C-alpha cells in the first residue's frame, strides 16, 4: 500500500501544481492584466484546465484510488491517509463525469466573461454582459446534467462549494432564518438611526491602505507568505499553503469598504495559511467548504472588527490618520456607525442584520435561472423586483444591482448560499471558542489576537479539507449548522445599540 500511496501523492502534487498555475493566471487577470488580453488569457487558462482535467481523471489515478480505497479499510478511518483517499475519491468520481471539452470551453467562456463583466459594471450596463451571462448559465445547466439523477438541478452546483449539502437543506435553514431576521430589522427600523454621515467624507486611499495593513499584520497575516493588491472585487487566492494573497477595493468616499474588506480577506488567508503544512499539494490542502471558509472571514471582519472592544483600541489610531474627518467623533460613536442597520444596495458593504437577505435574493435567482423559470434577459428586472421586496429599495443602476458581484461571470452559481451559511458558522464557532477563552473581548481590546488565532488554528484551520463541513461543525461545536446562535448574537448586539 505504501508504494501506491506515494504514487498517489506524486500525482496529487502534479494536479495541485497545475491548479496553482491556473490560479496565478486568474490572479494576474484580475489584478494586472490589460483588458484587451482577455481572449488570449482565456485560451491559456483553457489549455491549463484541459491538462488539469486529464490528469484529474486519468485511468492511472482511477485505478490507484480504487486500490487505495480498498486498502484504506485497514487504516484508522480518521487518519490523514484514509481521509486523503476518501476526499480524492470523491473528487475523482465527480471529475470523471465532466468531459474534457466542456472544461476547456467553460474556461474560455468564463475568462472572457469576467473581463466583460468588469466593463459592464464600470459602464453600469447589464446589456453588455447579458449574452455572456447566457453562455455561463447554459454551461452551468449542462454541467448539472452530467450528474443526473439529482434531487434538484441546483444540487451539483451547491455541492462544488459545500460538499454534501443539498438545496433543500439550505432552503430549510434559510426558511428558519428569514422570519427572525425580518422581525429584527423591522424592530430596528422603528428606532432612531445612529449618526454615520462621517463615514461618507473623503478618505484618501493611502491612509486607508496603511490602516488596513497595520490591522491585519496584528491579526497575524504573514507578509512573507502573502501580499495585498487592488481589484474590482476583493478576493483571496492561494498558490499553495505558503503563498496566499488578498486583494481589496477602495472607496475614497466610504471608509468601511476597504477597511472591512481587508479584514474579511485576511480572515480567508489566515485559514489557508493555518492548514497543516503536511497537507500541501494534496487533496486536503483546502478549506472544509466555502461556508467554513466564509466563517473565518466574517469572524475577523464582524465578530472582531466590528466589536466595541476592537474600536476602543483602534479608533485613536484611525483618528490620527484622518484627524479632520474624525476629530469630532469618539470611539463609541464610531462603533455604532460601523454597525448601523439600514438596507443598502451593495452586499459587501451591507450590515450584519440585512446581509443574509442579499444572499437569499441571489439564491432564489440562481435557482430560477437553473430551473429555467427565469430567463437571463429578464435578470435585471427580476433583481430589481426582488430587491424591492426584500430590502425595500430599487437599485439606481445596474452597477448597484444585478452587476455588483463577480461570481456569475466566473460561473460561480452555487457559491452565494455559502456566504450566509458562513455567518451562521462563524457565531457557532465563536460561542464554542469563548468557553475556552472567556476573556477574548479583553484581549481584542488590547489588540492581542494570538490566543484567538491559535485556538482557530488548533480547532479549525489545521484540518483543512480533512472533514466535511457538517462533520467539522459537530467536531468543533457539537452541532450541525443552525441559525439560532447567529440570531442570539444579532439580537443581543443590536438590541443594545438600538435599545430594543
Orientation of helix 450-459 relative to helix 417-436, angle to 10°: 110
Report yes or no: 38 and 87 within 8 Å, Cβ to Cβ: no
The grid coordinates of residue 377 equal: 434577459
Tell me how far apart the alpha carbons of residues 488 and 485 are, in angstroms, rounded to a whole number.
5
Tell me how far apart the alpha carbons of residues 369 and 375 are, in angstroms, rounded to a whole number.
6
- Alpha carbon of 277 to those of 211, 235, 240, 364, 463: distances in Å? 30, 22, 10, 39, 10
Report yes or no: 55 and 14 within 8 Å, Cβ to Cβ: yes
Report yes or no: 363 and 416 within 8 Å, Cβ to Cβ: yes
Tell me how far apart the alpha carbons of residues 360 and 64 are, in angstroms, rounded to a whole number.
42
- Which residues carry out catalysis? 265
Tell me how far apart the alpha carbons of residues 332 and 312 are, in angstroms, rounded to a whole number.
8
Q: Which residues of 245-256 are buried (b: 16+ CB within 10 A; e: fewer)?
A: bbbbebbeeebb
- Alpha carbon of 162 to those of 68, 150, 158, 365, 431: distances in Å? 25, 16, 6, 18, 22
Rg for the chain, CA atoms, rounded? 22
Amino acid at each position: 500500500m505504501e508504494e501506491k500511496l506515494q504514487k498517489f501523492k506524486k500525482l496529487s502534487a502534479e494536479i495541485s501544481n497545475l491548479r496553482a498555475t491556473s490560479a496565478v493566471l486568474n490572479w494576474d487577470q484580475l489584478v494586472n492584466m490589460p483588458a484587451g488580453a482577455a481572449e488570449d488569457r482565456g485560451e491559456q487558462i483553457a489549455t491549463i484546465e484541459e491538462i488539469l482535467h486529464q490528469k484529474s481523471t486519468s485511468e492511472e489515478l482511477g485505478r490507484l484510488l480504487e486500490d487505495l480505497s480498498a486498502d484504506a479499510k485497514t487504516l484508522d478511518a480518521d487518519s490523514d491517509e484514509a481521509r486523503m483517499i476518501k476526499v480524492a475519491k470523491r473528487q475523482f468520481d465527480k471529475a470523471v463525469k465532466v468531459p474534457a471539452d466542456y472544461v476547456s470551453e467553460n474556461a474560455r467562456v468564463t475568462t472572457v466573461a469576467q473581463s466583460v463583466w468588469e466593463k459592464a459594471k464600470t459602464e453600469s450596463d447589464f446589456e453588455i454582459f447579458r449574452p455572456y451571462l447566457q453562455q455561463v448559465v447554459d454551461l452551468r445547466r449542462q454541467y448539472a446534467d452530467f450528474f443526473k439523477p439529482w434531487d434538484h438541478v441546483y444540487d451539483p452546483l451547491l455541492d462544488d462549494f459545500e460538499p454534501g449539502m443539498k438545496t433543500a437543506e439550505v432552503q430549510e435553514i434559510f426558511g428558519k432564518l428569514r422570519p427572525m431576521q425580518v422581525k429584527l430589522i423591522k424592530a430596528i427600523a422603528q428606532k432612531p438611526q445612529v449618526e454615520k454621515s462621517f463615514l461618507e467624507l473623503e478618505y484618501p486611499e493611502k491612509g486607508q491602505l496603511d490602516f488596513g495593513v497595520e490591522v491585519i499584520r496584528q491579526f497575524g497575516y504573514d507578509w512573507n507568505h502573502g501580499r495585498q493588491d487592488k481589484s474590482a472585487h476583493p478576493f483571496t487566492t492561494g498558490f499553495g499553503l505558503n503563498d496566499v494573497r488578498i486583494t481589496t477595493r477602495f472607496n475614497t468616499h466610504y471608509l468601511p469598504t476597504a477597511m472591512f474588506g481587508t479584514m474579511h480577506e485576511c480572515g480567508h488567508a489566515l485559514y489557508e495559511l493555518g492548514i497543516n503544512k503536511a497537507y500541501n499539494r494534496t487533496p486536503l490542502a483546502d478549506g472544509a467548504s466555502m461556508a467554513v471558509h466564509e466563517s473565518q472571514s466574517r469572524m475577523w471582519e464582524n465578530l472582531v472588527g466590528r466589536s466595541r472592544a476592537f474600536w476602543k483600541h483602534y479608533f485613536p489610531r484611525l483618528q490620527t490618520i484622518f484627524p479632520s474627518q474624525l476629530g469630532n467623533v469618539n470611539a463609541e460613536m464610531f462603533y455604532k456607525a460601523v454597525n448601523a442597520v439600514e438596507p443598502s444596495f451593495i452586499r459587501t458593504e451591507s450590515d450584519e442584520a440585512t446581509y443574509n437577505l442579499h444572499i437569499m435574493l441571489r439564491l432564489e435567482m440562481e435557482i430560477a435561472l437553473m430551473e429555467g423559470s427565469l430567463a437571463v434577459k429578464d435578470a435585471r428586472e427580476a433583481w430589481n423586483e426582488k430587491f424591492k421586496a426584500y430590502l425595500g429599495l430599487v437599485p439606481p443602476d445596474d452597477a448597484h444591482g444585478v452587476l455588483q458581484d463577480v461570481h456569475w461571470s466566473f460561473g460561480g452559481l452555487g457559491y452565494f448560499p455559502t456566504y450566509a451559511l458562513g455567518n451562521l458558522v462563524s457565531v457557532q464557532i465563536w460561542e464554542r471558542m469563548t468557553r475556552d477563552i472567556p476573556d477574548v473581548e479583553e484581549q481584542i481590546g488590547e489588540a492581542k489576537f494570538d490566543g484567538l488565532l491559535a485556538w482557530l488554528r488548533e480547532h479549525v484551520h489545521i484540518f483543512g479539507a480533512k472533514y466535511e463541513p457538517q462533520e467539522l461543525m459537530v467536531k468543533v461545536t457539537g452541532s450541525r449548522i443552525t441559525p439560532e446562535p447567529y440570531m442570539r448574537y444579532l439580537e443581543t448586539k443590536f438590541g443594545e445599540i438600538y435599545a430594543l
